[in-house]
Amino acid sequence: MAALGFLLAACQEGQSPPAHKEPPPGDVAKGSMLERPLDLVYVCGNRYLVTNASLADIQVTYRVANSKESGDILLRAGLNEDPGHTETELITSTSGTVELFQGEDLVVRRQNEGVPCGAQGYPAERRRCQLR
């Protein structure tokens, strides 16, 4: 887990945010539903899951709105079996709305809902659930 945070921090140092088209104001998705082949699910704190349901590896860029934090993520191909997608954990250093881009195109924006993480890195109400 610490290695992942270090890896994400390493890709942010010395980079300025990429020049992307700005999304329309107020166009921020809330919630944690998987809605598209590439999606971003807010978990808790500054933790997100980036999902890929396509059958190819995909390179995406994330950016925390109104900050200099950004980075690239390689998403592994989705699965041909249940659950049908792969998940890549993203932990940001900055709180704020996270934007996910594929090339110059905005894929999704997710608001940081400020939910504190429980002892295992999940919201307290999800700790009772058993994950597969």
| 63-73 residue pLDDT tens | 999 999 999 99
> Can you tell me the distance from the alpha carbon of 111 to that of 48, in angstroms, rounded to the nearest whole number?
10
Domain boundaries, the chain: 2-21+38-114
> Can you tell me the distance from the alpha carbon of 43 to that of 61, in angstroms, rounded to the nearest whole number?
19
Q: In this predicted structure, what is the pLDDT of residue 105?
A: 95
Fold of 2-21+38-114: Immunoglobulin-like (2.60.40)
CB 87 within 8 A of CB 50: yes
Helix (H, G, I), strand (E, B) or coil at 125: helix
Burial bucket for residue 91 (CB in 10 Å: 0-12, 13-18, 19+): middle
> Can you tell me the distance from the alpha carbon of 14 to that of 34, in angstroms, rounded to the nearest whole number?
32
Q: What are the residue ranges in the chain where pLDDT is below 70?
A: 1-35, 82-83, 120-132
Give me the DSSP letters along 24-73: PTT--B-S----SSEEEEEEETTEEEEEE-SSS-EEEEEEETTSS-EEEE
Q: In this predicted structure, what is the pLDDT of residue 19?
A: 52
Q: In this predicted structure, what is the pLDDT of residue 83?
A: 67
Q: In this predicted structure, what is the pLDDT of residue 5?
A: 46
Q: In this predicted structure, what is the pLDDT of residue 92?
A: 97
> Can you tell me the distance from the alpha carbon of 73 to that of 129, in angstroms, rounded to the nearest whole number?
28
Q: In this predicted structure, what is the pLDDT of residue 11?
A: 44
